[in-house]
Structure 1
């Protein structure tokens, strides 16, 4: 569990507010431009690691691995898709956003982040009846899953 019951409520509110603002900015940019800029994703990675180090009063090993594995998994999937299809399917911004989720939530939460975001995006695409050639921004779905799991995980403590 990345956070302990000792997390002060004020720190939870402040960190959740900052997370929601950054994720909201990322969603806005991704919907408009189909990209997730480093100026928002990279600070999220750092903030997650610093917050977990502070709360745990130790090196946040699970969160460091979460950031590394999250990035590498999406980097590899994006590269494989590009190799097979000749077009970008997952960008490095998506990989960095998953790394941020890993930095905040830890390695064990990443499968749930991916599952929730993939189901949300798939459901939206089916309802909207997107054509296979039409791009769908995946960042908003990652951001929603990330925020939901952050709030649910801390509330469960």
Structure 2
């Protein structure tokens, strides 16, 4: 059972998602953006608690992205389709390479599915900024928690990466052409 502080922090995160969706959702996509924000928040909570990203939620994230493309970006569906495939494929390749190199899992398949779903939302050009934000925020978060003595940080400590991918995807989706050139967004 989560404590009051944890519940308060997730409530605040929900308010940030809500406020940022209203402030920065691309024109005509507010309801879809709110759906994306709710799914990403749910995925982050689940991954932090269980180190898993459930297929039904990542699948729904992708399906909502396909709906967004169909309704708002049908003339530019190719970059979004490629983004879904590339996002998934790149992290599967990293997962398999790491397992062969180290002899153990280092990245879950749910992370690949989530990046693929976010690739549908942002197109292939959004994948690099998503992963840059995800990697930098994960590094800062883990080092910060370790420095405060709240979490061990070594090669054996499992770290839920999904929340950081979700953060990167949310920022890139809302940031639009700040991160992705207009013709590719």
Common topology (TM > 0.5): yes
Q: Deviation string for 1:27-82 (max 9, x for gaps)?
A: 01100110101010011112212211221233610000000011000001001111
Aligned residue number for residue 58 of structure 2? 41
Q: Name the structure 2 match of 1:66.
A: 83
- Could you tell me which residue of structure 1 aligns to residue 36 of structure 2? 19
1:55 equivalent in alignment to 2:78 = no
Corresponding position: 1:148 with 2:171: yes
What's the secondary structure of 1:90's corresponding residue?
coil
Whether the 8 Å CA contact 1:78–1:91 is kept in 2: the answer is yes
Which residue in the other structure is 1:4 paired with? none
Q: 1:117-139 CA deviation, whole Å, 9 max, x = no partner?
A: 00010111222231221111000
CA distance 1:32–1:8, shift in 2 (3 Å): closer
Relative distance call for 1:8 and 1:106 in structure 2 (3 A) is: closer
- Asked which structure has the greater CA Rg, the reply is 2
Q: 2:154 aligns with which of 131, 147, 153?
A: 131
Distance 2:127 2:48 in 1: 23
Would the alpha carbon gap of residues 150 and 8 (structure 1) be closer, same or farther in structure 2, given more than 3 Å must change?
closer
Q: How many equivalent residue pairs?
A: 150
Q: Distance in 1 between matches of 2:174 and 2:124?
A: 16
Contact 1:53 1:59 (8 Å CA) reproduced: no
For structure 2, the residue ranges without an aligned partner over 5 or more in a row are 1-24, 147-152
The runs of 4+ residues in structure 1 deviating greater than 6 Å are 154-157
- Compared with structure 1, are the counterparts of its residues 28 and 8 closer, same or farther at alpha carbon in structure 2 (3 Å cutoff)? closer
Normalised by the length of structure 1, the TM-score is 0.88
TM-score normalised by the chain length of structure 2: 0.75
